[in-house]
Amino acid sequence: MTATLDRPVTENATVTDDVDRHPVRPSLQLVPSSRRSDVEATTSLTPEQIEELGRRLDAIRDRVLAERGESDAAYIRKVISSQRALEIGGRALLFAGVLPPAWIAGTAMLSIAKIMENMEIGHNVMHGQWDWMRDPKIHSSTWEWDNVSSSAEWKNSHNYMHHTYTNVVGKDRDVGYGILRLSEEQKWNPYYLGNPVYNFLLSLFFQWGVALHDLEVEKVVAGEKPLSRVWEQVKSIGRKAAKQFTKDYLVFPALAGPFFLPVLAGNLTANLVRNVWTHAVIFCGHFPTGAVQFSEEQLEGETRGQWYVRQMLGSANLDGGPLFHLMTGQLSFQIEHHLFPDLPSNRYSEVAPEVRELCREYGLEYTTGSLGKQYLQVLRTINRLALPNGTR
């Protein structure tokens, strides 16, 4: 998938005698995984241009770092208190959940609260975006989220593996979550006939998908990871899940007494809504048409500038208004987030026009589209990759 059908990419330097003419380091042969012949490299940046682009992106980052201050701190505190108020409100309304309007409103509020908690707050706090405030209550080293994946495991697989090796097939475990076939580079086998079904199930149980993909089961099979480590992780997930499930499916329903079932149903629905929504947003961040995937060889000796280019080409944005961006945890600015993963999320919308302008100037595609359009593309790719390469 993610064939760059019409996107300009750096020169496909598979032709070895091209090196002099296009001195792009082999490490940045952005070979799109599609083998379509119309993917003619339309842009070729020289190493100097790539490093210049890197310096200009650094300058944007430095400027935001210099401005970061009280208003940013006020933003995250306001988001956190709004989220908590929403959660209290949603759970309170659900106690009156025998009345359909109360059930609907309560479930909606709780769903929104859970989405905010995972995305705009949890994801971004655990990225260290707010560590600069030195508030131990809003800090990557202390934050724990409402998810079955523990923050420690998730920080390793996400902050380190995914953000360092973004869209590198075989390294970035977000490519397919160890369940799906999302790249033509992944060898096909009959198991993948179920690709669309797996994706649907992953969407419903996304928090479990995230937690289980931290286990890296395939590494155990390959003998690269001891089983004891997996057992430790399984226990950690079990403990975490037990707490979250006790709260949502036992304590709150029980507190509602005779209204046990409406509360249980509301909580279950809120978790499902959260799962489906986060799955959609996250898959649209890296796998719609336009986002490029890379191979491990391309990482060798990668420079800062090359890293930036890989982050830009491997990510895709979503269009929408401020409320939509809030609900995606600003991952609708996936490109900006991947360039500057530790900048406060409220700043992504501000730097986005500049990043977009840089992309235009350097002839790099800035992939963006509506959630509906992008998600359809993702689904289409998932369906296509259920079959071996080359079959339609």
Partner 1 sequence: MFRVAPLRPGRRLLAAATAMTTPLLPEDFLGLVDPLWSTTQLRGRVVSRRRETDRAVSVTIRPGAAWNGHRAGQYVRVGIDVDGVRYWRSYSLSCAQDAEHLTITVQAVPDGVVSQKLVRDLPIGTVVQLEQAAGDFVLPDAPAPLLMVTAGSGITPVMGMLRTLDATGAVPDVVVVHSAPSATDSIFAAELEAMAGRRDGLRVITRHTAERSSRNENGHRDGRLDLAELDDLVPDWREREAYVCGPSELLDAAREHWSQAPEQLHVERFTAPVRSVGGSGGRVEYGEKAVDVEPGTSLLEAGEAAGVLMPSGCRMGICFGCVLPLRDGQVRDLRTGDVHGEPGHLVQTCISGASGTARLDTP
| Per-residue contact string for residues 195-234; x = within reach of partner 1 by CB under 8 A | ----------------------------------------
274 lies in the binding site for partner 1 (CB under 8 A): no
- Cα separation, 156 vs 334, in Å, equals 19
350 lies in the binding site for partner 1 (CB under 8 A): no
Rounded to 10 degrees, what is the CA torsion of 299, 305, 308, 313? Answer: -80
Between 47 and 128, CB nearer to partner 1? 128
- Cα separation, 109 vs 334, in Å, equals 25
The window from 17-25, 32-40, 70-78, 281-289 that contacts partner 1 (CB under 8 A) reads: 70-78
299 lies in the binding site for partner 1 (CB under 8 A): no
State which of residues 25, 163, 171, 384 lies at the interface with partner 1 (CB under 8 A).
163
Tokens of 326: 């809030």
Of the candidates 329, 337, 373, the one whose C-alpha atom is nearest the C-alpha of residue 145 is 329
Tokens of 231: 């057992």
73 lies in the binding site for partner 1 (CB under 8 A): yes
State which of residues 136, 223, 322, 390 lies at the interface with partner 1 (CB under 8 A).
136
The window from 16-24, 104-112, 157-165, 270-278 that contacts partner 1 (CB under 8 A) reads: 157-165
- Cα separation, 190 vs 273, in Å, equals 31
CB atoms within 10 A of CB 27: 16
Q: Per DSSP, which regions of 76-194 are E strands? A: none
The window from 4-12, 125-133, 197-205, 347-355 that contacts partner 1 (CB under 8 A) reads: 125-133
State which of residues 55, 78, 229, 243 lies at the interface with partner 1 (CB under 8 A).
243
The window from 128-136, 291-299, 313-321, 362-370 that contacts partner 1 (CB under 8 A) reads: 128-136
The window from 11-19, 129-137, 228-236, 362-370 that contacts partner 1 (CB under 8 A) reads: 129-137
Between 121 and 386, CB nearer to partner 1? 121
235 lies in the binding site for partner 1 (CB under 8 A): no
CA 28 to chain centre: 23
Of the candidates 232, 220, 214, the one whose C-alpha atom is nearest the C-alpha of residue 173 is 214
State which of residues 43, 159, 303, 389 lies at the interface with partner 1 (CB under 8 A).
159
294 lies in the binding site for partner 1 (CB under 8 A): no
Burial class (CB in 10 A: 0-12, 13-18, 19+), 265: middle
Between 139 and 373, CB nearer to partner 1? 139
Complete DSSP assignment for 287-353: -STT---B-GGGGTT--HHHHHHHHHHT--EE---HHHHHHTTTGGGHHHHHHSTTS-GGGHHHHHH
Burial class (CB in 10 A: 0-12, 13-18, 19+), 324: middle
State which of residues 71, 78, 98, 234 lies at the interface with partner 1 (CB under 8 A).
71
Radius of gyration of the chain (CA): 22
Provide, rounded to whole angstroms, the least separation between the CB of residue 159 and partner 1. Answer: 4
> Residue count at the site for partner 1 (CB under 8 A)?
45
- Cα separation, 330 vs 327, in Å, equals 7
The window from 35-43, 64-72, 98-106, 176-184 that contacts partner 1 (CB under 8 A) reads: 64-72
State which of residues 7, 114, 123, 155 lies at the interface with partner 1 (CB under 8 A).
155
Give the interface with partner 1 as residue ranges (CB under 8 A): 58, 62, 68-74, 81, 84-85, 88, 127-128, 131-137, 139-141, 144-146, 155-156, 159-160, 163-164, 240, 243-244, 246-247, 251-252, 255, 307, 341-342
